[in-house]
Amino acid sequence: MKTSTDTAIGKIHGINGPVLRVAHERDTRDFFMSERVRVGEQSFAGEVISLRGGPSSDIAVVQVYEDTAGLKPGQEVRGTGHPLSVRLAPGLVGHIFDGIGRRLDGAYSDEKKWPIQMLVKPGDELHLYRIPVQVAETPSITYKAMLPPGVRGTVISCVPDGDYTAEEPLLEIKTPDGIRVFCLAQHQPVRVPRPVRRRLPLTRSLITGQRVIDSLFPIAKGGVAAIPGGFGTGKSITQHQLAKWCDADLIVYIGCGERGNEMAEVLEDFSRLTDPRTGASLMARTVLIANTSDMPVAAREASIYTGIAIAECYRDMGYHVAVMADSTSRWAEALRELSGRMDELPAEEGYPAYLASRLSEFYERAGYAENLNGSEGSITIVGAVSPQGADFSEPVTQNTKRFVHCFWALDRRLAYARHFPAIDWMASYSDYAEDLIRGEHAENRRRMLAILHEESRILETVKLTGTESLPESQRTVLSKAKIIRETFLQQNAYDPVDTFTLPYKQAEMMKGLL
Partner 1 sequence: MNVEYLGAREIRGSLMILEGIDDAAYDESVRISLTDRASDASPLWGRVIRIDGDVAVVLVFEGTRDLSLANTVTRFTGRPMEMPLSLELMGRTFDGMGRPKDGLGNVHTRLRRGINGIPINPTQRDYPRGHVVTGFSAIDGLATLVRGQKLPIFTGDGLPHDKLAAMIAANLCTPSTAVVFAAMGVKHDTAEFFRRSFSESGALERSVLFLNLANDPPTERIITPRCALTAAEYLAFDRGMDVLAILTDMTAYAEALREISSARGEIPSRKGYPGYLYSDLASLYERAGIIKGKRGSLTQIPILTMPGDDITHPVADFTGYITEGQIVLDRVLYQRGIYPPINILPSLSRLMKDGIGGGKTRKDHPDLAKRLFSSYAKVSDARAILSIVGEEDLSEEDKSTLVFGQRFEQEFINQREGESRTMEETLDLGWDLLSSVL
Calculate the alpha carbon distances from 198 to 147, 195, 206, 314, 444 in Å: 19, 9, 20, 16, 35
Alpha-carbon span 225 to 401, nearest angstrom: 9
Residue 34, amino acid? S
Interface map 481-510 toward partner 1 (x if CB under 8 A):
-------------x----------------
Q: Is 353 in the site for partner 1 (CB under 8 A)?
A: no
Question: How many residues are listed for the chain in this entry?
Answer: 514
Q: Between residues 20 and 448, which has the closer beta carbon with respect to partner 1?
A: 20
Q: Are strands 35-39 and 96-97 parallel, antiparallel or unpaired?
A: unpaired
Q: Is 354 in the site for partner 1 (CB under 8 A)?
A: no
Non-local CB neighbours of 250 within 8 Å, separated by 6+ positions: 93, 140, 141, 285, 286, 287, 311, 314, 319, 320, 321, 322
Q: Is 52 in the site for partner 1 (CB under 8 A)?
A: no
Q: Is the peptide bond before 327 cis (omega within 30 degrees of 0)?
A: yes
Considering only residues 46, 79, 222, 257, which one is a binding residue for partner 1 as defined by CB under 8 A? Answer: 257
User: Taking a C-beta distance cutoff of 8 angstroms, is the pair 400, 392 a contact?
Assistant: no
CB of 195 to partner 1, least distance (A): 34
Q: Which stretch binds partner 1 (CB under 8 A): 46-54, 229-237, 360-368, 421-429?
A: 229-237
Residue 120, amino acid? V
Interface map 357-386 toward partner 1 (x if CB under 8 A):
-----------------------------x
Alpha-carbon span 314 to 261, nearest angstrom: 28
Q: Is 21 in the site for partner 1 (CB under 8 A)?
A: yes
Q: Which stretch binds partner 1 (CB under 8 A): 28-36, 151-159, 306-314, 334-342?
A: 334-342
Q: Is 255 in the site for partner 1 (CB under 8 A)?
A: yes
Q: Is 391 in the site for partner 1 (CB under 8 A)?
A: yes
Q: Is 13 in the site for partner 1 (CB under 8 A)?
A: yes
Q: Are strands 250-256 and 286-291 parallel, antiparallel or unpaired?
A: parallel
**Phi and psi for 90 in degrees, rounded to 5?**
-55, 150
Q: Is 346 in the site for partner 1 (CB under 8 A)?
A: yes
Q: Between residues 294 and 472, which has the closer beta carbon with respect to partner 1?
A: 294
Non-local CB neighbours of 261 within 8 Å, separated by 6+ positions: none
Strand order in the sheet with 178-182: 125-126, 153-158, 171-175, 178-182
Considering only residues 24, 285, 336, 445, which one is a binding residue for partner 1 as defined by CB under 8 A? Answer: 336
Considering only residues 26, 112, 127, 259, which one is a binding residue for partner 1 as defined by CB under 8 A? Answer: 259
Q: Is 471 in the site for partner 1 (CB under 8 A)?
A: no
Q: Is 107 in the site for partner 1 (CB under 8 A)?
A: no
Q: Is 409 in the site for partner 1 (CB under 8 A)?
A: no
How many residues lie near partner 1 (CB under 8 A)? 65
Calculate the alpha carbon distances from 427 to 181, 406, 407, 458, 482 in Å: 54, 11, 8, 17, 18
Q: Is 91 in the site for partner 1 (CB under 8 A)?
A: no
Considering only residues 30, 105, 161, 167, which one is a binding residue for partner 1 as defined by CB under 8 A? Answer: 105
CB of 256 to partner 1, least distance (A): 12
Alpha-carbon span 315 to 250, nearest angstrom: 9
CB of 435 to partner 1, least distance (A): 34
The candidate with the shortest Cα–Cα distance to 67, out of 294, 261, 264, 339, is 294
Considering only residues 104, 118, 478, 509, which one is a binding residue for partner 1 as defined by CB under 8 A? Answer: 104
Q: Between residues 282 and 317, which has the closer beta carbon with respect to partner 1?
A: 282
Query: How many other C-beta atoms can be found within 10 angstroms of the C-beta atom of residue 492?
Result: 11
Alpha-carbon span 337 to 10, nearest angstrom: 24
User: Taking a C-beta distance cutoff of 8 angstroms, is the pair 182, 173 a contact?
Assistant: yes
Considering only residues 54, 73, 122, 150, which one is a binding residue for partner 1 as defined by CB under 8 A? Answer: 73
Question: Please, which of residues 439-468 interact with partner 1 by CB under 8 A?
Answer: 462-468
CB of 120 to partner 1, least distance (A): 38
Q: Which stretch binds partner 1 (CB under 8 A): 198-206, 271-279, 411-419, 426-434?
A: 411-419
Q: Is 398 in the site for partner 1 (CB under 8 A)?
A: no
The candidate with the shortest Cα–Cα distance to 137, out of 244, 305, 304, 249, is 249
DSSP 488: I
Give the CA radius of gyration of the chain: 25
Cα 151 → chain centroid = 27
CB of 282 to partner 1, least distance (A): 16
Q: Is 220 left (phi over 0), alpha (psi -120 to 50) or beta?
A: beta
Q: Which stretch binds partner 1 (CB under 8 A): 47-55, 136-144, 348-356, 401-409?
A: 348-356
Q: Is 160 in the site for partner 1 (CB under 8 A)?
A: no
Considering only residues 388, 461, 479, 487, which one is a binding residue for partner 1 as defined by CB under 8 A? Answer: 388
Considering only residues 27, 30, 67, 161, which one is a binding residue for partner 1 as defined by CB under 8 A? Answer: 67
CB of 494 to partner 1, least distance (A): 6
Q: Is 54 in the site for partner 1 (CB under 8 A)?
A: no
Alpha-carbon span 451 to 473, nearest angstrom: 12
| Binding site residues, partner 1, CB under 8 A | 13-17, 21, 67-74, 96, 104-105, 230-232, 255, 257, 259-261, 263-265, 267-268, 290, 292-297, 330, 333-334, 336-337, 340, 346, 349-351, 386, 388-391, 412, 416-418, 462-469, 494
